[in-house]
A and B are shown apart, each in its own frame.
Chain A
Amino acid sequence: GAGVSQTPSNKVTEKGKYVELRCDPISGHTALYWYRQSLGQGPEFLIYFQGTGAADDSGLPNDRFFAVRPEGSVSTLKIQRTERGDSAVYLCASSRGQQETQYFGPGTRLLVL
Chain B
Amino acid sequence: KNQVEQSPQSLIILEGKNCTLQCNYTVSPFSNLRWYKQDTGRGPVSLTIMTFSENTKSNGRYTATLDADTKQSSLHITASQLSDSASYICVVSGSDSWGKLQFGAGTQVVVTP
Contacts and interface: CB of A to CB of B under 8 A. Distances in A.
Interface of A: 4, 31, 33, 35, 40-45, 48, 50, 55-56, 58-59, 91, 93, 98-99, 101-107
Category for how many chain B residues contact A: 20 to 34
B105 A40 contact: yes
A61 to B, nearest CB: 15
Contacts of A104: 43-45
A43 B46 contact: no
Given A40-B106, A99-B93, A104-B45, 18 more contacts: A4-B43, A33-B99, A35-B103, A40-B105, A42-B104, A42-B106, A44-B103, A45-B103, A48-B99, A48-B100, A91-B43, A98-B99, A99-B32, A102-B101, A104-B44, A105-B43, A107-B42, A107-B43
Closest CB pairs A-B (n = 8): A104-B43, A42-B103, A48-B99, A98-B98, A101-B46, A42-B105, A43-B103, A104-B44
Report whether over half of chain B's contact residues are helix, strand or loop; otherwise say mixed. Answer: strand
A101 B101 CA distance: 11
Nearest to A59: B100
